[in-house]
Each structure stands twice: as structure tokens, then as C-alpha cells.
Amino acid sequence: MVDIKAFSGYEIVGGGVCAAKGFKANGVCCGLAHKPLNKTEENSAIANNALPENTKKKNDLAAIYCEKECAAAAVYTTNKVKGAPINVTKRNIENGYAKAVIVNSVNANCCNADGEEKAERMCEILASELNIDKRDVIVASTGVIGQVLPIEPIENAAKELCEGLTEDGNERACEAIMTTDTVKKQIAVRFKLGDRQVTLGGMLKGSGMIHPNMATTLTFITTDCDIAPEYLQRALSENVKITLNMASVDGDTSTNDMVCVLASGLAQNKKINSENEDYETFKNALYIVMLNLARMMARDGEGATKLIECICTGANDDETARKVAKSVVCSSLFKSAIFGEDANCGRIFCAVGYSGGDFEVSDLNVAMASKAGSIDVCKDGSVLEFDEEKAAKILAEEEINIHVSVGSGLFSATAWGCDLTYDYVRINGDYRS
């Protein structure tokens, strides 16, 4: 987790998407992830110590709900092939408001002739149980692309899903959105706006098929801040660029990526409807949450053993800083070297060189660092001799920092990625099975 000491007035708290006032969540196993047994079959299997592996119950359907109408904002994948839920959600929150989220894992509901019909039906199912308008529902799906989504399991589980909505249901919901994730990813922060205490929290799923320039995976954020939809959208869009869009696992942009925010206003702060001091305070809170979620995602990349953080400084423009930082964490050759703990710094220079950033090679300086120390590997565009043994100790740590300076400019950027391991191929070689 990122140290937030630099952000005075913010406190990390528990609760994820349920931390903010007014929000409840739940997650259930409806049978999309694993075939559930009926009670007779289950009792028999347990008695004979023969519960099959594929019948273990993992939550695969989640909901988030607030009784009060919430300001809503979202950012979506830039992939031209989009999952049906994205099109439905876009229409539903066109007015800037929503009350609930329904999301399933296992099946992406993408590239299906009946995709939008199924996504609309998911909204109707949740709306009927909660007695709200179906247009107040955000819908999302994640999982295998190109397989028809069975709607019956979702219909059958809707009552249990909604009756189980609680103010501490974030753990169940977080499990339900996971696919190849190995850990739950959630965080919340508390801060003050005037004399009012405000909370903002979120959860994220993402481990593979992750690459910059999109919303990057499924991310759900809730807050009790009172903020106009226009400024909620502005804060989200600005933060996506420097957090989720700066994380990459494998260079593949998914079809279903979406990040959405719901703001209940129940903190009763003075409503944010301009880019004032309160707006900046809120935007910083959103940044803290999204930054931490982006780092968690990169660290939990499919098969990953290490988190890579690349910081580019000295750029003459923001675009160059971002291009250079992202190019390094996206390099398959460099990612492989990090897995092998091989200080093959030439791969860094190569990635910086093809990044498309505007800089002079003679201004390039590179260092590698971790908790084990730091070592300079390039100065003024030329490779330096360095202690291979010390470099190996640095790369043996779980978090590796690459510092790239491209001049004396005022712009900088940070990107996050992970190493490329044998397990990545194994996981994706049999993803559907």
C-alpha cells in the first residue's frame, strides 16, 4: 500500500465499497463460477468425503446499493469490441445518476447476439428486487468472451443477493468479481470537507488482460461526498489518466473494462459544483484510492512474483513522461529479465528508446532500486559498469523501482507493471478450463 503521509488529512480505513454512508453490498454463488450441488447431493458428498473440486462454492454475482439517488460517473474501455453491459450502463447513467450496481464474473457477456438483452435483464432483475427503476442500475460482467451468458442462475439468486445486502458486505462482493485474481483488492479513505467527515472507498478486479489507455479492468468506487455529476466525472477522468491507465500486466486491452463512481451525498458537506478547494481535496482522496488499487492490480498480475514501478522524471511534457514510464513496464523482454532477476539494463534503454517520447539520448539516466538498495546503470546515455552481485540482491526483492531521467524538464509520470513468468502462460493456456 502506498504511504499517504504526503497527503495530509487523509486516513486509510476498512470497509471498501461499504465504508461510505448509505452503501450496502453482497456477493453470492449463483452457479456461474462453479456448479453448485443441491442439498441432498452436498450432504452425500460431504458424508463420503467426496466433494468435487469444481463444486466448491465461489461467489460469482455481486451487488452494491444505496437507497438514496447517487451522482454517477464512469470511464470505459477504448476497445472497439465492447461487452454488452458497457452499452447498457452508458445509457442508464446518461442522466448522471444511479442507485445500484450488479456485476457477475466468469462470463463477460461480450460478442453475443443477445448480449444487451441479457444485460438489460440483469438490470431488471436487480431493480425488481430493490423496487427501483431499472435505469438506475449499473451493470458489468467479466470473464470468458464469446460465451452466451445464462440468465437463469442470476434470476434464481437475485432474492438471496438483495436480501443479503449489508453494510459489511464488501468482502463478499469483492470475492464475487474475482476471476484469476489471487487476492481481494479494496481500500477506503476518510477525510474532512469543512466540518464534515467524508469517506471514499473502492474495490477492483484485475489480474490479466490489462493494458493502459482505458478504464483498466472492473473498478467500483463509492463515496458519501455531495458532488455534482459533472465534477464527479471530471475528477474520475483526470485520475484515471494517472492511476489505472498507468498500469499494465500483459499489453491486452479488455472488452469489458469499466470504472464507475457513485456519490450518495450523505456526508452532507457543502455540495461541490465548481473546481474549488473542496473539489481538489475530493480529487486527492479519489487519487489515493485509485493509485492503491492500480498498484494492487499490477502486483497481482497473472503469475506475477514482482511489482515493477517505473518513475520517469525530467521530461519536457506530460506525454513524454507517460510514454517512457509505460514503455518500460510494458516491455516483455524487461519483464522477463525482472522475473529472472537478471540486471539486463539494455532492455530498459531499448524500451525507453521506442517509447515515442521526445528527449535526447544524451540526457538519459537510469537507476534500479528496491529495499535492498539502489544502483546506477546509465548516465548521459551511456551504460555504466555496475556490481552484478549488488544488482542481483536489488532484483531479488518483491518490489522493483526503475528511475528514468530524460532531461531537466518539469514533467514526471509513474507506471506500474509486473514480471512475466511461466505461470502467465500456464494460466492463459487453460483459462477456460
Give me the active site residues, please. Answer: 216
Q: What angle do CA 75, 319, 414 make, to 5 degrees?
A: 75
Long-range contacts of the stretch 348-355 (C-beta < 8 A, 24+) = 348/377, 348/378, 348/402, 348/404, 349/378, 349/383, 351/327, 352/324, 352/327, 352/328, 352/404, 352/406, 354/327, 355/323, 355/324, 355/326, 355/327, 355/328
What residues does 139 pair with on adjacent strands? Answer: 102
How many alpha carbons fall within 13 Å on the CB side of residue 283?
21
Longest CA–CA span in the chain (Å) reads: 73
How does DSSP classify residue 302?
A: T
Q: Kindly report the number of other CB atoms within 10 A of residue 52's CB atom.
A: 11
- Report how far residue 25's alpha carbon sits from residue 17's, in angstroms, rounded to the nearest whole number: 8
- Report how far residue 40's alpha carbon sits from residue 193's, in angstroms, rounded to the nearest whole number: 55
> Between 318-330 and 346-353, two packed helices, what is the crossing angle to 10 degrees?
140
Residue-by-residue DSSP string for 21-87: TTEEEEEE--SSSS-PPPHHHHHHHHHTT---GGGS----EEEEEEEEEEEEEEEE---SS--HHHH
- In sequence order, the 6+-apart residues with CB closer than 8 A to the CB of 145 are 83, 108, 110, 111, 255, 256
- In sequence order, the 6+-apart residues with CB closer than 8 A to the CB of 182 are 207, 300
- Report how far residue 404's alpha carbon sits from residue 312's, in angstroms, rounded to the nearest whole number: 5
- Residue 117 identity: E
